[in-house]
Structure 1
Amino acid sequence: MGAAEHRRRLVSLAYPVYFELLAGVTAGIINMAWVARLGGGAVAAVAVATNVENLLLGVILVAGSGTTVLVARARGAEDSAAIRSAVRGGWVLWALVTPLVAIGGYLCREPLAHLVLGGSGGSGSGSGSGDSLPLATAYFSIALPGIAVFFATNVVDGILKGAGDTRTPMKLAILANGLILGLDPLFILRFDLGVRGAAIATVLGRTVALICGFVVLHRNGVLRQAAQAAPNRAGSLSADARRTAETGLPMSADFVARMVGALALVAIVARIGVSEVAAYGIATKAMYVATMAFYAIRQAASIRTAQLLGAGRDERRAIGRQVLLLAGSLGLTALLTLLAAAPWIMWAFGSEGEVAEAGALYLRCLGPYLTLLACFIALGGVFEGSGGSPALARITACGVALQLALAYSLSGSGLPGICLAMALAMALQCAAIARMYRRTEHPTATDCDDRGVRISVTEPDSLSPDNRFA
């Protein structure tokens, strides 16, 4: 298959994922914009609750991401029974994980609120900051049981993406955000429910979108055929769940490692000064516009690679080249944009004075890191789709640890030192993944898929449906 065709397929899969990811970030911004009328305490409560939800996303990624890869692999093989097993595995994991998080989180909502707010929520003055703890607890009392809907939506999205449909998850995310935008003022202000109203609006908006997602799943021809697959070709529920967990766990670990590293980096930046912390926080939000594009390409590469391997075609090298071309172009575009427009970006986020100055400097120094990050994140999709995600997760974990150590050492140079630490650590991660990629140029006689099943990569015709999904 030609390079142009690979590139077209990747773009077709990636752009809906990009808008879906941006829509997910927007939900938290919508809530914060409406609760801002209730005072600083309410804003703090919703802000920390949103951060907790982002971290919990890493939990369900085990099911969502694992299901995407396995469904894509089975679809490429045109194996309906394997699709059925992959879908069942995702839902079994959802059923196992969700009660622990939803019920456990609800029962521990007050200690959790105290943990994430620290000492800032229990006392204070002005702007309602002393009310943050009870407000966060109130938000958690609705949002944590409602996490079941959020988790189910992630599994639905994973199934649809594995089946090659990335547009429906985008439409569902936009629908949910549109409903949240309309329901927020109704529940927060009209019904005078405050932060509880924001949580209720979020859960209701996502519930409607989830129902629509189930309708789409039911109408999908590939999935309907898989649901009718012969039962004697489907494994046990525990085996299905184990395969999904083995596939998705490294991807989840990769995500959680980056989230934890980002939170730890805030503490290091805090050693420099208050203005720098504020500038770092604003600049990080501005970076989402670029980084979400990198992750969109990653998901597209994962789906495409898994589909072709399922069909017995090892085209990792060709896909990787197109991924690097797309991601590298986006990274360089981000670099040039930040160099030219950094002050205006900070102004657009409402910053001024020392914060705006520090943020503009940080954004201008961030370009090399973003370019390297684009290549690493996007190329990682090739390995996620071909069973290399455990090695990828190890590279990420080591890279995050190195980044924090370097950032601590270079923090004396201010935010430019932080950027240098991030770029150096990412350069080493890129070197490691480049080594993995070069190994695909001379594949061995056998390789292992994402579940440890040995498959041929030099003789694609030997990949019969039976041994692909043994």
Structure 2
Amino acid sequence: MNGVPEGGERRGCLGADRVAVVALAGNVENVLLGVVLMAGSGTTVLLARARGAGDPDGVRAAVRGGWALWALLTPAVAVGGFLGREPLAELVLGGHGNPAVPLATGYFAVALPGIAVFFATNVVDGILKGTGDTRTPMRLALLANGLILLLDPLLILGCGLGVRGAALATVLGRTAALACGLVVLRRRALPRTAGVTPRHLLADLRRTLRTGLPLSADFVVRMSGALALVAVVARIGVAEVAAYGIATKAMYGATMAFYAIRQAAAIHTARLLGGGRDERRAVGREALRLSAAVGFAAFLVLSATAPWIMAGFGASGEVAAAGTLYLRCLGPYLLLLACFIALGGVFDGSGAGPLLARITGCGVALQLALAHGLSGLGLPGVCLAMALAAAAQCTALARLHRRTGPQRVAEGAAVRAARTASGARTDDADRHR
């Protein structure tokens, strides 16, 4: 099936190409996650701000805007991705002659239509987080990942579906989590919406898009940089590409924790500002302390368990050795990245997210240039490039904070809040008319 030797996958000997396909396909999904963060994160911030201000109309508008943006984004990504699955596979894996391209095409044929479920789950998470419930999204994520871990061996090996089985397991696990999330959401006492015109729905969508776009852009650029780094790693060797794909997928567990702290900081900041309280400095200090501890702990865990992580993905020999070395060189990068991402939540919650997206874009460009120059050192050189770029981003963020100053940031946030409130009042007036 898909060019796989008879019984090869059943014995668990997936080979570097199949391991790389599943691992690198995760990078593509992370880029797509950044797209839907416009809906999820925009809903979270607007909902938290409305609840802080005690504005039920704002709560309704935030929920409507999130689902409207989901309905706009999902068909374009799911249908467009499915139709372009083969060119996408060639782009990710570097050409038509790569034997892994047909495998990646088969994976995307299942995974990309299933992105509709992934996107809907993100909106549900965004609504729950905006109401102050961050535990339920975490439980839903654990449920989805637990089911994926159970279904993977059944579908990949037991049913002989190969990489398509991995994609199907992911979609089924997420579908179960989404169903549970919708049940939880139905039980929440959120203000009900009735009699909304297309014009008002479009206004809600625009507000959500405007609020969520900075974080989405930041995430998409960062994940695209990780994907583009594959081309640099490919100059080192095939084993290193597979090792990089696995190690990056493992590292995303830590990265998601950093973004969870960032979102918590954004929710807290937005809610406090909505209630007329400016405590960005205190929130920032707590976010930095927590993220530094999580970043250091993540490095210790990844370093200690690196051989088992590689074995868990079916890697052995050169691939396992290269991946273990890479994971053990990530310490400085993880610590710097944790601080930058988490502190960004304060800026997101106060409306200064676009500045962070610019810093991220410059940092990713610097990272790729440094990685190209240091690739002669192998994967440790790539790690060094990532750490240097992260240090530059942290330095830029610190300078931005000093230059802006608390008073000027507060004034800017007040102006943005006034504009948002004015738009909401106009919409409400139109609705009453």
Shorter-chain TM-score tier: 0.7 to 0.9
Moved more, 204-213 or 108-117: 108-117
Per the alignment, residue 328 of structure 1 pairs with 292
Per the alignment, residue 4 of structure 2 pairs with none
2:65 pairs with 1:89: yes
2-structure distance, mates of 1:320, 1:38: 47
2:394 pairs with 1:418: no
2:185 pairs with 1:217: yes
Per the alignment, residue 395 of structure 2 pairs with 431
Per the alignment, residue 305 of structure 1 pairs with 269
Q: Match for 2:29: what amino acid? A: E
SS at match of 2:32: helix
2:254 pairs with 1:290: yes
2:244 pairs with 1:244: no
SS at match of 1:349: helix
Per the alignment, residue 363 of structure 2 pairs with 399
Q: CA deviation at 1:277?
A: 4.2
Per the alignment, residue 28 of structure 1 pairs with none
1-structure distance, mates of 2:328, 2:166: 36
Q: CA deviation at 1:271?
A: 3.2
SS at match of 1:288: helix
2:119 pairs with 1:151: yes
Per the alignment, residue 347 of structure 2 pairs with 383
Could you report, residue by residue, the CA deviation over 1:189-247 in whole angstroms, capped at 9, with x for unpaired residues?
A: 666655544444433332232222122111112x2xx2258979x97111111111111
2-structure distance, mates of 1:197, 1:55: 21
Distance 1:107 1:208, change over 3 A: same
Q: CA deviation at 1:150?
A: 1.2
2:307 pairs with 1:346: yes
Note if contact 1:387-1:450 (Cα within 8 Å) is conserved in structure 2.
Answer: no
Q: CA deviation at 1:320?
A: 0.7
Could you report, residue by residue, the CA deviation over 1:144-163 in whole angstroms, capped at 9, with x for unpaired residues?
A: 22221111111111111111
Note if contact 2:27-2:223 (Cα within 8 Å) is conserved in structure 1.
Answer: no
Q: CA deviation at 1:388?
A: 1.0
2-structure distance, mates of 1:154, 1:419: 30
Distance 1:277 1:118, change over 3 A: closer
Normalising to structure 1: TM-score of the pair?
A: 0.77
Q: CA deviation at 1:313?
A: 0.7
2-structure distance, mates of 1:368, 1:297: 19
Distance 1:346 1:284, change over 3 A: farther
2-structure distance, mates of 1:450, 1:230: 31
Distance 1:418 1:466, change over 3 A: closer
Distance 1:407 1:143, change over 3 A: closer
Choose the corresponding residue for 2:229, options 265, 272, 278.
265
Seq. identity, %: 66
Distance 1:421 1:64, change over 3 A: same
SS at match of 2:132: coil
Aligned residues: 414
Distance 1:38 1:327, change over 3 A: closer
2:172 pairs with 1:208: no
Normalising to structure 2: TM-score of the pair?
A: 0.82
Q: CA deviation at 1:48?
A: 4.6
Per the alignment, residue 428 of structure 2 pairs with none
Per the alignment, residue 130 of structure 2 pairs with 162
Q: CA deviation at 1:287?
A: 3.0
Note if contact 1:317-1:441 (Cα within 8 Å) is conserved in structure 2.
Answer: no
Moved more, 264-273 or 98-107: 264-273
Q: CA deviation at 1:276?
A: 4.6
Distance 1:353 1:215, change over 3 A: closer
2-structure distance, mates of 1:218, 1:147: 22
Per the alignment, residue 5 of structure 2 pairs with none
Q: CA deviation at 1:395?
A: 0.5
Note if contact 2:250-2:309 (Cα within 8 Å) is conserved in structure 1.
Answer: no
2-structure distance, mates of 1:45, 1:362: 19
SS at match of 2:270: helix
Moved more, 282-291 or 403-412: 282-291
Q: Match for 2:71: what amino acid? A: A
Note if contact 2:24-2:245 (Cα within 8 Å) is conserved in structure 1.
Answer: no
1-structure distance, mates of 2:64, 2:153: 38
Could you report, residue by residue, the CA deviation over 1:382-404 in whole angstroms, capped at 9, with x for unpaired residues?
A: 11111111000000001111122
Q: Give 5+ residue unaligned stretches, structure 2.
A: 1-7, 426-433
Note if contact 1:34-1:185 (Cα within 8 Å) is conserved in structure 2.
Answer: no
1-structure distance, mates of 2:242, 2:20: 14
2:29 pairs with 1:65: no
Per the alignment, residue 218 of structure 2 pairs with 254
1-structure distance, mates of 2:108, 2:131: 34
Distance 1:249 1:187, change over 3 A: same
Q: CA deviation at 1:317?
A: 0.7
Q: CA deviation at 1:372?
A: 1.6
1-structure distance, mates of 2:104, 2:44: 33
Q: Match for 1:257: what amino acid? A: V
Distance 1:411 1:46, change over 3 A: closer
Note if contact 1:35-1:198 (Cα within 8 Å) is conserved in structure 2.
Answer: no
Distance 1:90 1:451, change over 3 A: farther
Per the alignment, residue 25 of structure 1 pairs with none
2-structure distance, mates of 1:97, 1:157: 17
Q: Match for 2:79: what amino acid? A: I
2-structure distance, mates of 1:450, 1:68: 19
Distance 1:365 1:87, change over 3 A: same
2:203 pairs with 1:227: no
1-structure distance, mates of 2:22, 2:380: 31
2-structure distance, mates of 1:95, 1:403: 35
Per the alignment, residue 24 of structure 1 pairs with none
